[in-house]
Amino acid sequence: MKITNVLASPGLTGFYFDDQKAIKADAQPDGFTYRGKPLTAGFREIRQQGESISIILILSDGQIAYGDCAAVQYSGTGGRDPLFLARHYLPLIEKDLAPTLVGRRLSSFREITTEYDAFRLSNGDSLHTAIRYGISQALLDATAKARRVTMTEVIIEEYGLSWNEIKPVPIFAQTGDDRYTGADKAILKRVQVLPHGLINNVCDKLGSQGELLHEYIRWLKNRCIALGGRTYKPIFHIDVYGTIGLLFENDIPRIAEYLLKLEEAAAPHRLRIEGPLDAGGKEEQIKQLYQLKEEIHHRGGRVEIVADEWCNTLQDIREFAAAAAADVIQIKTPDLGGIDNTIEAIIYCKEKGVGAYLGGTSNETDRSAQVCTHIALALQPDQILAKPGMGVDEGLMIVFNEMQRTLALLEYRRAIR
């Protein structure tokens, strides 16, 4: 099977690009957007529409495969690639990339994706991570169509994985700023991990003494009982975007003490705190997260630290995992470029005994979420993000339904083997 043509089309994502620096600097909300000047290069506004590009592969037998190029909500910060705007990158895909794909034989997803992950433009620059992300999705889909199997089966075969370990992967629903109504939605649908919460500002969301988040966790626990019953005990996973570190001036003992109070408020639910501090660089982030994790364990705490900022590439993830810098590492799929890197990252985390969270961003598309679901089924990480968007229902529907469809197909294939 060969690729006979390549098309590209502009698209929208399930959320928005947000200037994280401006929001952390107390940008003033104005309805669904923010007032003020952006602080991150490339932004016209503090919040602007999320954009994507679909890469469409026409195969020699007439089948069509595609993947979506998308970048994270907080692009251009934390060591990430710059803002991904369709009008800037469509010409590059059409003129520089598409001709190199036409005529390629679909013999090995792993080999061809690795090649395009290392692709260099005529000026020597590498491809934007969003483009590498979209190409690799399309190539996985194309390889699956060429073999007439699911994308999950391609990954299992090419990475030497076991069919026997495939089971549903816990889904993590994120509420965005609508953390109360969104939590209700997630609880009603018995989500296994919730609510993310978007605690990205000290004054309005964390509290000047951390009291707002503490009160929210107490509310969340009571709400799980009220709507889900006492047997429903999802994991509480809350992303605080380094705000706890800002509040306590990155003082490790004070941060640990506060996190233990949150753990007590959450009990008997397991508590995961993502991005408790931002040290401003990778080496220092690894050092401080490890110190925080050890301080918590020394005090007898069980709250889990989730690494996110400064842990963007496959190499970053390997360094964080090798240093045991966190209990769980978010594998933020668009930041890794090709999905072959996401696969390798999950494998490495498992080898090191570190929790693997197949994450991403609200600012993805339905297609990237579907492809990530196949990765999750094949690799069995600790959890997968319900994406795109922050409305809970839509992202949860996309990931859950793709997972259930694929599990049904795999069970059917097992039966007829």
Rounded Cα distance, 196 and 174, in Å = 5
Among residues 24, 145, 205, 332, the one annotated as catalytic is 332
Long-range contacts of 142-147 (CB under 8 A, 24+ apart): 142/1, 142/3, 142/57, 142/59, 142/65, 142/106, 143/106, 143/108, 143/109, 144/65, 145/1, 145/59, 145/63, 145/65, 146/1, 146/59, 146/63, 146/106
Q: Annotated catalytic, 332? A: yes
- The structure tokens 């990205």 sit at 200
Alpha carbon separation from 248 to 163, 257, 258, 262, 288 (Å, rounded): 47, 10, 9, 15, 13
196 membership: H or E segment, kind and range: strand 193-196
CB atoms under 10 Å from CB of 107, counted, come to 11
Tokens of residue 86, six digits: 């369709």
CB atoms under 10 Å from CB of 181, counted, come to 11
331 membership: H or E segment, kind and range: strand 328-331
Rounded Cα distance, 143 and 156, in Å = 13
Secondary structure of residue 81 in the 3-state scheme: coil
- Return the closest-CA partner of residue 151 out of 397, 395, 336, 339: 339
Start-to-end CA distance of the chain, whole Å, equals 24
**Extended strands (E) in 250-311:** 271-274, 304-307
| Residues tagged active-site | 332
